[in-house]
Structures are given as structure tokens and as C-alpha cells.
Structure 1
Amino acid sequence: MDEGRPLFVQIAEEIEGSVLDGSLQEEERAPSTNELAAFHRINPATAAKGINLLVDRGILVKRRGLGMFVAAGAAERLREERRQQFADHYLTPMLAEARHIGLSVENIIQLLRERAQQSGIHE
């Protein structure tokens, strides 16, 4: 756990990561509040707060008497949220800086291709 961020946010992000990497499938039962609390040695209320973040966003759904389950479409919903966050946190500032230094869209694309190739990422 990262001491710089609230534990309940980290719990939610851990479950999100499991949904995105496929280790927690849609319609599958999610870890319970008590399971998360015991595993991370935290207060169950803290774990519940993290789970409730995901319920509020439609990532998890409660099935009365059965527990929390990954919602249908949750993985795609998370991917779309992450795409939007990526654009907001990285692309918008990058484009503002590009405008300041006079780079065109074509220049940016070429720089991106060059860096991707250096990093071993292929189209």
C-alpha cells in the first residue's frame, strides 16, 4: 500500500486493476469487505468505502445476500474512464506545450512514432 494516498482509494484501484487485467471477470464475485480488510489489515469500514466507490461508478453491483459482483460491461467502462483520464492528464497538457513551441500535429505524431520505436512499441 502507498502511504501517500487514502487506503480506500487504493482498495478501489486494486479491484479496478483486477478487472482490467482479467483476473476478476465480469459477473464474478468480488472480494468482500471483510476479506479485503483481513488481507490488507485495515478497518472493514475503510475497505467498504473503497468498494462503495466502485458501486457508485457502476463497476461493482450488490446482489442481496450474495455479496458484490463485477458488473456487466465494467471492464469497458474502466477502459473508457482510463482513456479519458489519459487524455486529460497527458494529451491536453502536451498539446498546450506543443502549441507554445510551435509543433504541428504532424510533428507530434512523428515524435511519438520515434519514441515508440525507441521503446520497442510497434504500430
Structure 2
Amino acid sequence: MIINSDGTKPIYVQIAEWLETEILNGNIQADEKMYSQYQLADIFNINPATAAKGISILANEAILYKKRGLGTFVSIDAKQIILTKRKDQTLKKLVKDLVVEAEHLNVSESELIQLIKDAGKNDEGDEE
């Protein structure tokens, strides 16, 4: 992953999202030790305090938990928490934006549904 320091999304949020994706992809398992703030700082060439803030976001959402003196670990429910959060926040927002844009373009509901189905079909054949 490449951190976008010029973007509108704060670096600590990008770190949190990257860690979530690592968990979803199975690269970091439940009850497995998470990267430390210093490891993340080395990986992404960022300030350790910024990395710590990204870790804290996930700890506050119960995706990670801390063991005093041992580090931070992935919670048992991490994947489900992330999936629910991304569906409720990210996916719903994308769908809402899509519906609003379709209304601006006078795209009917059936046309929009067909566009979504076609996009899904195209993705299946685009694997490289």
C-alpha cells in the first residue's frame, strides 16, 4: 500500500483502513499480534504517533485489543465488525451517491440495476 500524503484522507485513517484490509484478506488472523506503531512507522515511513492513532481507531472499534506489556492483538470478531462497518458506512454511501447521480441523469431504476449487474459480470471476466 502506498500512503497518499497529499489526499484529503488523513494518514492515520489510511493506516487503519490498510490494517482492516489485511485482516479481511486473512493476512492477520484473530488473536494474532498486530504490527506495532514502530513497525508501521518503518513500513510506511511515517511518524510513530500517526501510526499509533491508526491503531487506536481500531482499538476503539473493538477490532483490536491491547494486552498490557505484550502489544495489540486482533479481536475474534474483527472481520465481522469490519464487514458490518464497511457495509453500513462505505457501501451505503456509495449506493446513495450512485442513486443520486442516476436521478440527475434520468436513469431509471431498471437501467441502474442492469448497469450494476453488467458491472459485476465485467469484473468476473477481468481477472488478470
Q: Please confirm whether the aligned pair reaches a TM-score higher than 0.5, indicating the same fold.
A: yes
The answer for unaligned runs of 5 or more in structure 1 is none
Moved more, 21-30 or 109-118: 109-118
Q: For 1:64-95, what per-residue CA distance to the aligned partner results, in whole angstroms no more than 9, with x for missing partners? A: 1111000111111111111121111x211222
The equivalent residue for 1:7 is: 11
Match of 2:108 among 100, 103, 110: 103
TM-score (norm 2): 0.80
The answer for unaligned runs of 5 or more in structure 2 is none
Q: In terms of Rg, which structure is larger?
A: 1
Query: In the superposition, relative to structure 1, how do residues 112 and 38 fare at CA in structure 2: closer, same or farther (>3 Å)?
Result: closer
Q: Which runs of 4+ in 1 moved over 6 A?
A: none
- Residues 62-77 of structure 1: matches in 2 within 5 Å? 62-77=66-81
Measure, in 2, the Cα distance between the counterparts of 1:28 and 1:9. 21
Q: May I ask how many residue pairs the two structures share in their alignment?
A: 119
* RMSD over aligned Cα atoms: 1.9
Amino acid at match of 1:69: F
The equivalent residue for 2:91 is: 86
Identity %: 36
Query: In the superposition, relative to structure 1, how do residues 97 and 13 fare at CA in structure 2: closer, same or farther (>3 Å)?
Result: closer
Measure, in 1, the Cα distance between the counterparts of 2:119 and 2:45. 42
